[in-house]
Amino acid sequence: MSSIVVFGTQWGDEGKGKIVDLLTERAHVIVRFQGGNNAGHTLVTRDKKYILHLIPSGILHPDKLCLIGNGVVLDPEILCREMDDLHQGGIEITPASLGISKKTHLIMPYHKELDRAREQAKSGKDRIGTTGRGIGPCYEDKMSRVGIRAGDMQDRELLLAKIKKALPEKNALLENLYKDIPLEAEEVMQTISPYTDRLVPYLTDVSLKIQEARESGRTVMFEGAQGVQLDIDHGTYPFVTSSNTITTNASAGTGSYYSMDEAIGVVKAYTTRVGQGPFPTQQDNDVGEHMQVQGAEYGSTTGRKRRCGWLDLVILREAVRICGPTALAITKLDVMSGLDTIRVCTAYKYRGQEILYPPQEENAMSMVRPVYQELPGWSEDISLCSNRRDLPRNARMYIEHIEDALKTPAKIISVGPDREQTIR
């Protein structure tokens, strides 16, 4: 019996889905605790590829219970599509395998319209790089206490009444500020009803399910989305997501008070970022191109090409300080094969000083200069390595350098996209 939380240490896209999928062998219940379908987890197993946006990655395993917590914002249409895609891949979704918290807030069509309109109205450096999925506006309604929750799907009259209550303000913004077309409440209701009606049987008390699992001696795993540097409080604000991505939000986002026995920090062997925002170690050169091509670095949600750069120990120290990992999972180590020299950012130069943690002033990360240490690379193909001892000496040294810098052991090393391409 234990509680495990898996989180991203960088700007997301670290490969958390694969790690959760691997650790699910130990877990009985897998819970998603924040974010929405602006995140995507890509899983590859036996030459089959699955991209999950809302359903926890443990769904690929039979006899596991997957839960969507109250900290998530859920698009009913996207969730139904995801369920259909899994069905086509031979994975059946039933209320016995998937539960949705009645407290989870729903992304409505007007949230997506507002999200897109706002981003289009911005220009240049003011653009956040949002996915346009309605995530931010939905969290805004949650905090403004006018949000629609999953439990409301059980009462059509209540659902319509809450839509009518929310629309006047949304339409005022769409019509007058963004010169867009206003929405009608009945039209919104008609759009979402096929999906909300379908999802009602999946509603449950997620907090109670977690309590029951713990009391019966079962292991619960909490799955995060995005990464620490996209946290609404601790990330590179304002270029962040709209929720707390850090480990301690696992409790608030699921209604569970249990302390975490294990926290697994997922670290990509290099650094990537999608969308706008500062990225000190970004490489607009052959190195960045190598990482982008070899790592197939395209956003699993947006399809956008990811920006790539050297490993940044400064932001990783921040992740360790805030989230307290008990172990690291290093992913995509195989992408580094073929580089003669590997550079690692060990500190920043900022306002005449050398600092070991990110500066906290807004936009300060765009003014730092990385301080690098050079390590020898390797040319061997490591995708078939099944033991740490099988890795080239320089690859082992690279891992040890990360462990020493973060004072945390690497207990999982991914050397390829498939589930089997893992050293544990």
Enumerate the active-site residues. Answer: 13, 41
Dihedral pair phi/psi, residue 39, rounded to 5°: -115, 150
What are residue 413's DSSP bridge partners?
330, 423
The terminus-to-terminus CA distance of the chain in angstroms comes to 20
Place of tokens 């947006």: 302
C-alpha closest to that of 281 among 335, 332, 347: 347
What Cα–Cα distance (Å) separates residue 98 from each residue in 3, 56, 66, 227, 257?
19, 9, 5, 24, 21
HSE of 380 in the Cβ direction (CA atoms, 13 Å)? 13
The C-alpha atoms of residue 218 and residue 214 are separated, in whole angstroms, by 5
The C-alpha atoms of residue 225 and residue 98 are separated, in whole angstroms, by 18
The C-alpha atoms of residue 106 and residue 76 are separated, in whole angstroms, by 7
Residue 118 CB partners (closer than 8 Å, separation 6+): 130, 178
Dihedral pair phi/psi, residue 378, rounded to 5°: -145, 160
Return the structure tokens found at 323.
């989230």
Answer yes or no: are the C-beta atoms of 257 and 207 closer than 8 Å. no
CA 115 to chain centre: 19
